[in-house]
């Protein structure tokens, strides 16, 4: 099995052979005696994925001769942690599909999905603990806590605007932009920061480099998520592996949606989100998606993503020249230019 971005020349090129080893270890995680757990693990681990997080660990830890076994174990732990969060996200969002396949909660129900996610969290922690580094375990724990706090941040409109409908909505949306960025930093960027920071720590990098790598991961994570949220509105169901406009269907306020509503505070979608929370008519959703897609909100959100991408690249300035450093720069460009 290969990664989704492992074809041709990619930012992952310097670590493709190492990613193959990570893939083998991930496959082995599904090899358990419990028949039901084995089925749920194969369903969630089988489809593969971008393997962005293992690649970041490997790129951040490949300069100083760190044994491959230790690097792979840390990379596997990062992917297992990420996968655990996906399982739990699908339960919370009641998602029916991911990467074009049915989710664990759809096939096996919420109870078994929760237990599968918990198992993956524990398995990820087991891999990290095997590195015998309290400092790295501490960063891992920080990332898990950030993920949980980010999930709890409210990101929705409410109908109790006190200063008139239009001005009240506009004020809410401006606050929501800040909340959105805080949520993205906690839910997406913290895990990428963990990968980069712990990879550098594992490699024995000095504190200044470790700090830069952590910040690089944070900036990259925000840029990556904003592009994800744009693609949810502009890509195709085939490319996404889920319906276009899934965020809107779930009432999730992403940056392009926020910007669209800021420009159109009297749009019918505002009342729907303030009263019902989510649009339920599929025809309406398709219409709303088409309007957002054609609006300036997409370019405005993309400009914010590019701002964070530029900040990520600046974090790498002054680091020793290497294939890995070049790949990290190219990874930012890939993240900003991808179409799926």
- Which pLDDT score, from 0 to 100, does residue 24 have? 94
For the segment(s) 13-337, the CATH number from 1.10.3720.10, 1.10.600.10, 3.90.870.10, 3.40.50.12160 is 1.10.600.10
- Which pLDDT score, from 0 to 100, does residue 340 have? 66
DSSP state of 97: E
- Which pLDDT score, from 0 to 100, does residue 5 have? 42
- Which pLDDT score, from 0 to 100, does residue 31 have? 94
- Which pLDDT score, from 0 to 100, does residue 3 have? 33
Token pair for residue 29?
A: 């995680």
Token pair for residue 31?
A: 């090899």
Residues of the chain with pLDDT under 70: 1-9, 47-48, 158-167, 340
Q: Which runs of E-coded beta strand occur in 81-220?
A: 97-98, 101-102
Buried b (16+ CB within 10 A) or exposed e, 132-142: ebeebbebbee
Domain ranges for the chain, please list them.
13-337
Is residue 247 within 8 A of residue 254, CB to CB? The reply is yes
Kindly write down the DSSP assignment for every residue of 283-330, as one continuous string. Answer: HHHHHHHHHHHTSTHHHHHHHHHHHHHHHHHHHTTTSPP-HHHHHHHH
Q: Which runs of E-coded beta strand occur in 64-176?
A: 97-98, 101-102
Kindly write down the DSSP assignment for every residue of 11-29, as one continuous string. Answer: TTGGGHHHHHHHHHHHHHH
């Amino acid at each position: 099995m290969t990664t989704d971005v492992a074809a041709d020349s990619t930012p992952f090129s310097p670590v493709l052979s190492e990613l193959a080893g990570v893939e083998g270890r991930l496959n082995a995680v599904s090899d358990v005696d419990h028949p039901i757990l084995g089925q749920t693990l194969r369903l969630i681990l089988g489809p593969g994925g971008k393997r962005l997080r293992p690649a970041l660990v490997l790129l951040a830890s490949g300069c100083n001769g760190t044994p491959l076994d230790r690097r792979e174990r840390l990379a596997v732990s990062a992917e297992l942690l990420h996968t655990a969060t996906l399982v739990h996200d699908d339960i919370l969002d009641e998602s029916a599909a991911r990467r074009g396949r049915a989710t664990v909660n759809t096939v096996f129900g919420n109870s078994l999905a929760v237990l599968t996610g918990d198992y993956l969290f524990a398995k990820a922690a087991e891999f990290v603990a095997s590195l015998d580094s309290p400092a790295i375990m501490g960063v891992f724990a920080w990332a898990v806590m950030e993920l949980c706090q980010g999930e709890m941040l409210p990101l929705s409109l409410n109908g109790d605007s006190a200063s008139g409908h239009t001005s009240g909505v506009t004020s809410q949306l401006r606050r929501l932009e800040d909340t959105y960025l805080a949520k993205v930093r906690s839910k997406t960027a913290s895990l990428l920061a963990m990968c980069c920071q712990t990879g550098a720590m594992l490699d024995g990098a000095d504190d200044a480099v470790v700090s830069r790598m952590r910040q690089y991961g944070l900036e990259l994570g925000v840029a990556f998520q904003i592009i994800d949220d744009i693609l949810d509105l502009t890509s195709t169901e085939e490319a996404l592996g889920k319906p276009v406009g899934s965020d809107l269907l779930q009432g999730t306020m992403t940056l392009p949606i926020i910007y669209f509503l800021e420009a159109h505070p009297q749009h019918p979608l505002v009342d729907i989100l303030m009263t019902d929370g989510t649009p339920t008519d599929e025809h309406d959703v398709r219409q709303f998606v088409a309007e957002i897609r054609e609006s300036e909100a997409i370019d405005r959100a993309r400009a914010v993503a590019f701002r964070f991408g530029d900040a990520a690249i600046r974090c790498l300035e002054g680091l020793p020249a290497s294939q890995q450093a070049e790949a990290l720069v190219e990874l930012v460009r890939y993240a900003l230019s991808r179409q799926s």
